[in-house]
Amino acid sequence: MDNFQDLLSKKEPLRKELKKYKGVHNGMQVVRHPLVYSVPHDESFNALLNKRYETIKKECDKALDEKDYGKFIFWHERPYRIDAFVQTMNFMSDKEYWKILGEIWVDSENIWQNLSKWKKLLKDEREGKHLFMESDDYKKFKKLPEKLTAFRGYMPNQNENGISYTLDKEKAEWFAKRYWKKNGEVKEITI
């Protein structure tokens, strides 16, 4: 805790690696680097952010040296995990590819921002595509009927054509209205 307080009281410039990711979003200063976020950001956070970056960068380098691609990817901030996956996917076994891609999918909030990338990755011809799902989910998937109805909660004019669907209409309604209670819509399709 003393180290944390020391870093907060220490005045230093932001590292050059982080400085190029500094900007303004919704009227506030932010730093949105693939390894560290500071939202909102204040100059008094610089030493703490610099130390965090240094620590995470070392962990990423170590994970790559050890060929632990999952660890490398999950050291990245959520919006950048798909990029870290693409960076390392050619070194992965088929099993790692599908398992890690599935873990990123479940943990992502921004699939729609990388939709073309996701579509390409999901169409990969590697063996073991079922590993994208947890084994319990795969068992349920295998029991699905030939024809079914699926739902997608979305914000109009933003991400209606995304690729995340559910069989639970209430869950789709929750996604549609979780941020803007009145404007969300639910799309229904037959598969």
CA 7/CA 45 separation, integer angstroms:
8
For 15-33, the pLDDT digits (tens) are 999 999 999 999 999 999 9
CA 174/CA 186 separation, integer angstroms:
9
pLDDT(77) > 50: yes
For 140-174, the pLDDT digits (tens) are 999 999 999 999 998 887 777 889 999 999 999 99
**Can you say whether residue 58 is alpha, beta or left, with left for phi > 0 and alpha for psi between -120 and 50 degrees?**
alpha
Query: Can you give the pLDDT at residue 178?
Result: 84
CA 178/CA 17 separation, integer angstroms:
35
Q: Residue 24: enclosing H or E segment and its boundaries?
A: strand 22-25
Nearest to 170 by CA among 160, 179, 178: 178
Query: Can you give the pLDDT at residue 23?
Result: 95
Question: Model-level pTM greater than 0.85?
Answer: yes
